[in-house]
């Protein structure tokens, strides 16, 4: 982790060909900040800090004390959990402006999963102590988190069933569609806007890296996708959806 000044954070982002100013940061947090009273808003603003992370940098690790709520302002983040023999599994991905890293504190636990930056990212941190004490007073803030937790829990159950029951091709197809839904496509309307390693793709789809590469090649051969280094073009989305559906 590297805690940085606003200035440094902004510079990092600019280097990643995106621009962000302090003026832009607060409005992005609006979905949460709008729920607060004037005094609460003031307290939050005072206590929040801005941080920049490089590609693959750790935002927090499994086992860390869950001290802060995180909000991704810019960039892309993966939430992953170690399994048998330390083999990581990506359980969620975060896009701007999503909140993350709050579950463990609500459950009174240390982090059960770690957060890493897929690419240069800017994160706002707010102490969980502030969140929880405000929550006890402000039911609208409570509802904010109830909705998010409920949706995440639904997705987690869905994911458990899909990862355990589908075959490799189905799981990879699902991951590709999931990445499209999460991060969208580039201007050409077919290239995924996220470039992740084959290893990450494997950890997202519950397979070995070899099999992620192999199956990706098979999809390319079948003209379902096109591969150009880390760039993946989705050529035949109906077919991907079919492969995903039938498992």
Partner DNA sequence: ATATTTTTGTGCCGTAAAACATATTTCGAA
Partner DNA sequence: TTCGAAATATGTTTTACGGCACAAAAATAT
Q: Single out the segment in contact with DNA by CB under 7 A; choices: 19-27, 141-149, 152-160, 226-234.
A: 226-234
In whole angstroms, what is the distance from residue 172 CA to residue 205 CA? Answer: 6
70 lies in the site for a second copy, by CB under 8 A: no
In the list 45, 137, 199, 241, the residue contacting a second copy (rule: CB under 8 A) is 137
Contact partner, 216, from a second copy, DNA, none, Cβ < 5-8 Å per class = DNA
Nearest distance from residue 197's CB to DNA, in Å?
4
104 lies in the site for a second copy, by CB under 8 A: yes
3-state secondary structure of 167: coil
Rg of the chain over all Cα atoms, to the nearest angstrom = 19
What 10-14 contacts at long range (C-beta under 8 Å, 24+ apart), as own/partner pairs, is 12/52, 12/54, 12/120, 12/122, 13/52, 13/74, 13/75, 13/120, 13/122
In the list 3, 140, 155, 230, the residue contacting DNA (rule: CB under 7 A) is 230
In whole angstroms, what is the distance from residue 247 CA to residue 37 CA? Answer: 48
**Binding stretches for a second copy (CB under 8 A):** 81-85, 87, 89, 91, 103-104, 106-109, 112-113, 135-140, 142-143, 145-147, 149-154, 156-166, 170, 206, 246-247
């Amino acid at each position: 982790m590297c805690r940085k000044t606003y200035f440094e954070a902004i510079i990092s982002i600019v280097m990643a060909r995106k621009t962000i100013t302090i003026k832009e940061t607060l409005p992005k947090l609006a979905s949460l900040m709008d729920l607060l009273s004037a005094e609460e808003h003031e307290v939050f603003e005072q206590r929040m800090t801005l941080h920049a992370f490089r590609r693959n940098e750790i935002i927090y690790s499994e086992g860390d004390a869950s001290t802060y709520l995180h909000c991704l302002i810019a960039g892309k983040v993966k939430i992953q959990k170690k399994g048998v023999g330390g083999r990581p599994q990506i359980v969620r991905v975060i896009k701007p402006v999503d909140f993350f890293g709050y579950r463990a504190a609500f459950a009174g636990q240390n982090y059960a999963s770690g957060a890493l930056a897929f690419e240069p990212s800017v994160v706002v941190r707010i102490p969980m102590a502030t969140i929880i004490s405000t929550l006890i007073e402000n039911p609208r803030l409570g509802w904010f988190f109830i909705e998010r937790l409920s949706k995440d829990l639904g997705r987690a159950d869905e994911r458990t069933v899909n990862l355990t029951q589908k075959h490799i091709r189905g799981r990879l197809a699902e991951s590709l569609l999931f990445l499209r839904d999460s991060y969208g496509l580039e201007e050409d309307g077919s290239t995924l806007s996220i470039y992740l390693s084959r290893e990450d793709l494997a950890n997202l789809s519950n397979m070995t890296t070899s099999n992620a590469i192999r199956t990706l090649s098979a999809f390319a051969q079948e003209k379902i996708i096109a591969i150009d280094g880390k760039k993946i073009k989705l050529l035949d989305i109906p077919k991907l959806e079919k492969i995903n559906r039938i498992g």
